Amino acid sequence: GLFLTRYTDRGQSSMLIASQMEPTYARRVYPCFDEPAMKATFNIRIIHDPSYVALSNMPAIDVSEVKDENGSLWTVTTFNTSLKMSTYLTAFVICDFDYVSRTERGNEIRIWARKEAIKNGYVDYALNITGPIFSFLEDILNVSYPLPKTDLVALPDFGAGGMENWGLMIFQEAALMNLPSDEFTSKKAIIALIVSHELGHQWFGNLVTMNWWNDLWLNEGLASYFEYLGATFVEPKLSLDKIFYAHVVQPVLREDSEIARSLSESEDKIKGSFSLMSLFDNITYSKGAAITWMLSSFLTEKLFVRALASYLKEFSFSNANQDDLWTHIQMVVDAQDEVQLPAPVKQIMDSWTCQNGFPVLTLNLTTGTVRQEQFFNKNNRKSTDSYNNTWIIPISWMRNGSSQPLTWLDTSSKMFPEMQVSESEYDWILLNVNLSGYYRVNYDQLNLKRLAHLLENDPKAIPAVSRFQLIDDVFALTEFGYVPIETALELTKYLAREDELFIWNMVLLNLIPDNFESTLKNHEVYPLLKKYLLKRMLPIYHYYAGFIRQNVDALEDDFFAQMYLEKLMATACWLGLQDCLDLSSELFAKWRDNPEYKIPFLVRRTVCCYGVAVGTDKEWNFAWEMYNHTDSIEEDEDILLYALSCTKEPWLLHRYLQYGLSDTLFSSNCTSVIISHVMTKDIGHRIAWEFVTENWPLLSQGYGHELLHDVLKVMGRFVKTDVQIQELQVFYNATLEEDEREAITTLLESAKHENVERRKLLIKVASWLEKNVDD
């Protein structure tokens, strides 16, 4: 609704009022029929304190004064009548901000922010890209932007990342600002993506709105698709397909198999069982974008954009549902003969938007048979579950490195004679190239052997995104019980020749999940993993370590280094690579000698952690001192809170937890952060657990049960036997209510089950590594 924010600007305390209506908060601000399909024009007038400026969707056409009954002067700002629009897009901001502006094709673009932020040039980058992205979208969609002005407002405090209100977009400050001196692509990319997303909404959402919230993906999926096109247009150094796969497709494939809803649900189902807010999730945004990408691939971008233009023109200032989009695509397909589809557009697309989940394709290359089934977790399938969905699936594929014509699987299984391979081990097949389909692929052993062999001899014969897909698919298939873990490990042998960080990042997340480092460290698999992985990591590690030592600015255009180098370096140090530990202590010592020195942000977290870990209490005390410096920025504070828990000295961890208790040193929410940091460390989890149980009376006053839940979740990672569960139970039986106890017991039981399963898996991994560690 309408909300008030307090913030500081130039050392002064200030206030502003702003609005957030989507999905159903307009009714809290003014009486209305608050439904997306009930579009209207709005005449808006705001009466406010003269020292503030008032903004709304349309330009102000009149500013006058009025006295109230006490004789005080007020300003009356009247805005032009809006276009026909939905209530959830109306917006108001009353603030004391400055702005920078420029005009693009007659559209006046202003970016408003705190005065000091404007003065320091923090929004200059956002201003430089907004106009060009507008023009890019106008040109590609062939529909011009209908408003005379656009305001983008950066709020110090805003619940969403951004909101696309027509003509008055509102952003979280961090999403719109960067330091003019910061030439690193990653920060710019984040701003470009979010601006591009909200600008995409000016067409998909604002000009044409979904009939009702059950088709929200027509707004969010399309805006998320254009978000990546727009961002890579203004930042051409970003690789569109790699980023789209790593940030959109792969994460949502991980999630989509566990979620019980389809992209487009019926109105009744949503009114019955979902809250509207829960629709603003990864399915709506990322699956929506991934399916749009697939659609654009099999139609060709030319036809897809032509259909979108026709859809936008017909439904401008009005509403549509997904069938309307299918109709316009069908019209465009029918009017040409280059692209032939195996079925009507609606039938193809409904299989992706109206069914839960997605398919996995299983190949038999001796017979050339491809069959599909819904991808689900075979390890915990109940016999009653039925998974008999089928999809109409576009298959883009290559054979021995050359692209083949697009083909379709429109039944549950089909023979493709052209996919039968010969005896030659150089005859291989790769499906779903250019990530053109939203599915996973399960190859037969024969083809996987050939692909593994190819990777070892000539990894570049397979395009980078396809290498990523191939390996990620196999790990996902392993996890869901389709193939044994050894199959996935075979594909990692080639990694010494892999120079793409985004692929390394995915492999490391699969092999060493973020939260299991400490459990792996205590397992016999660790020394084997160390030997196997370090041998393969050295080339890429040394390549990047050279930049970190000599010239980190040379990496300013390397987006993936800024996103993923940290994980690579942290893994190298975790595996005990001497050069990594030395590099960390060198850079940390440099900082100790000169607190003005900045450790490169790409690896700051790892360097601080291992600087403390290999150091003594001197290093620890220095980090503590720097944490307590008043002028440190929040990001660095988080890094230091984490680094302080990396020490290998139990007495320092004890002391750290004690410091965390004394409320003078900390804002209250840090205590629980400290406890969970210490608890995730291999020597810390017992220390932290004892600390929590001894100090519970004190802790429970400040944090209550939330803290206990977090603590028990982390302790769950270490639970392998019933005796261990009982030990935890004794404690929480005395502290929790009965219904909460049951929930925690279930949580720990399933954690134990997972840990037992994981140990079985690790035994397999260890025995495979033993055989392969010297290859």
Task: Please list the active-site residues.
Answer: 198
Strands 393-395 and 429-431: unpaired
The one-letter amino acid code at 258 reads: E
Burial of 423 (0-12, 13-18, 19+ CB in 10 A): exposed
Spatial CB neighbours of 278, under 8 Å, sequence gap ≥ 6: none
Report d(CA 80, CA 59) in Å as an integer.
6
**Distances from the Cα of 260 to the Cαs of 79, 350, 389, 439, in angstroms?**
45, 17, 14, 17
**Residue 415 · residue 422 · CB < 8 Å:** no
Q: What is the β-pairing status of strands 2-9 and 12-19?
A: antiparallel
Query: What is the rounded distance in angstroms from the CA atom of residue 178 to the CA atom of residue 730?
Result: 50
**Are the C-beta atoms of 376 and 482 separated by less than 8 Å?**
no
In the three-class reduction of DSSP (H, G, I as helix; E, B as strand; rest coil), residue 483 is classed as: coil
Task: Identify whether the C-beta of residue 36 lies closer than 8 Å to the C-beta of residue 186.
Answer: no
Q: What is the CA radius of gyration of the chain?
A: 28
The closest of 214, 215, 199, 73 to 137, measured between CA atoms, is 199
Q: Cα–Cα distances in Å, from 537 out to 99, 485, 603?
A: 48, 21, 16
Q: Among 77, 76, 93, which residue's Cα sits nearest to residue 15?
A: 93
Residue 142 identity (one-letter amino acid): N
Identify the H or E element spanning 320.
strand 318-320
Maximum pairwise Cα distance, the chain: 95
Contacts of 91 (CB under 8 A, 6+ apart): 18, 19, 21, 55, 56, 57, 163, 165, 166, 167, 168, 170
In this structure, is the dihedral angle defined by the CA atoms of residues 742, 747, 751 and 754, taken in order, positive or negative? positive
Q: Are 598 and 635 in contact (CB under 8 A)?
A: no
DSSP-based three-state secondary structure for 709: helix
Query: Which CA distances in Å does 750 have to 510, 613, 717?
Result: 21, 33, 10
- For the record, the structure tokens of 97 come out as 């901000």
